[in-house]
Amino acid sequence: MEEKTENGFSEQQMRRRRVNKMKMSILTGAGVWIIILSVLMVAMFVKLVFLENKLERLEESIISVQRVVEEQKKAAGSSQEGEKESISDSDAAAGSVAQEDGQAGNMPVETEQSRKVYLTFDDGPSENTSKILDILKERNIKATFFVVGFDDEASRELYQRIVAEGHTLGMHSYSHKYDMIYQSLDAFKEDMSHLQAYLEEVTGVTPTIMRFPGGSSNQVSNVDMKELIRYVEGEGLTYFDWNIESGDATSQAYTSDELVQNVMTEVVKYDTSVVLMHDTSAKAATVEALVPMIDQLQEIGAELLPIDETTKLIQHIPVDSVE
């Protein structure tokens, strides 16, 4: 009787052990599967993110190709309007001449990948504009001026000189008063179309490149910037922000050497750099910095170019992120 119970007991124990063993192997198997599936899921997720990024880049390049095609179509379409055609021709010519000049002037000794640098001057014209233009002319370099509206004779001549010397005349806003232009979409429209019509009247060229005051990422606009972006897109305008700040707008009063240094340490990070500088009478250091900045940029083989419709978009809020 006792033996029987003992036998029964050990059999029960054995069975329990077997069951435990089976449970363990099932659990281990399931565990292994869970690990394999998790690894697969992570791998697929990484792949998905990679593909999404790739798609984004493709979309970007499609959009820029479309933009160029549209521009060409526009140029071809306006052939009946003699004046306009000659303007867009001279624009294109100025652009290509600038590119050739840039390449010839740079002569990179080491054949590193081409580095494009776009010098941009905001808020002019000012007492410094002619000094800036003199330096650029002497160095045979084209740049971009994002101007505001002044109706005095000296300013009118400066707008004309910017265009005549092959630089890009970009729009920045007529008043540059944040509380006015960013009050409503209508206020913004009125300011921008006023500036465009004014510059067209003074120079004969209709500007299509612009920069939002404070940049597209400004935090002061009353209106959603995406709404303003949709508007400028609809008007056929292309806006540019910047990826390099010289620092001449900060409260810290940089010396010209420091401004050059600020630009040079950043410029090596990008294949396309849009450099933010200011053309106002208070910014003497900017004018002073210009010659050494150009020298040092050319030393590293950078091409110095004016912004045009083919320039890689540098935008804080990318236009293709706005539906």
Least Å distance, CB 202 to Zn ion, is 20
Helix (H, G, I), strand (E, B) or coil at 277: strand
Which residues inside 209-228 make contact with Zn ion, applying CB under 5 A?
A: 213
Nearer to Zn ion, 122 or 191 (CB): 122
**Residue 94 vs 158, nearer CB to Zn ion:** 158
Is residue 159 within 8 Å of 147, Cβ to Cβ? yes
- Smallest separation (angstroms) from Zn ion to the CB of 102: 26
Phi, psi torsion values for 250, nearest 5 degrees? -80, 165
Q: Which is nearer to Zn ion, 101 or 279 (CB)?
A: 279
- Cα separation, 217 vs 88, in Å, equals 30
DSSP string, 80-116: SSHHHHHHHHHHHHHHHHHHHHHHHHH--SS-PPPEE
For the CB of residue 82, give the shortest distance to Zn ion in the complex, in Å: 35
Q: Smallest distance, Å, CB 173 to Zn ion? A: 8
Strand partners, 273: 117
Residue closest to Zn ion, measured at CB: 122
Q: Which is nearer to Zn ion, 71 or 123 (CB)?
A: 123
Is position 191 an interface residue for Zn ion (rule: CB under 5 A)? Answer: no
The residue (of 101 and 123) whose beta carbon lies closer to Zn ion is 123
- Nearest approach in angstroms of CB 146 to Zn ion is 7
What is the rounded distance in angstroms from the CA atom of residue 286 to the CA atom of residue 83? 36
- Residue 251 one-letter amino acid: S
Q: Among residue numbers 91 through 130, which ones bind Zn ion (CB under 5 A)?
A: 122-123
How many residues bind to Zn ion according to rule CB under 5 A?
Answer: 3
Distance CA 149, CA 218 (A): 20
3-state secondary structure of 215: coil
Which residues are near Zn ion by CB under 5 A?
122-123, 213
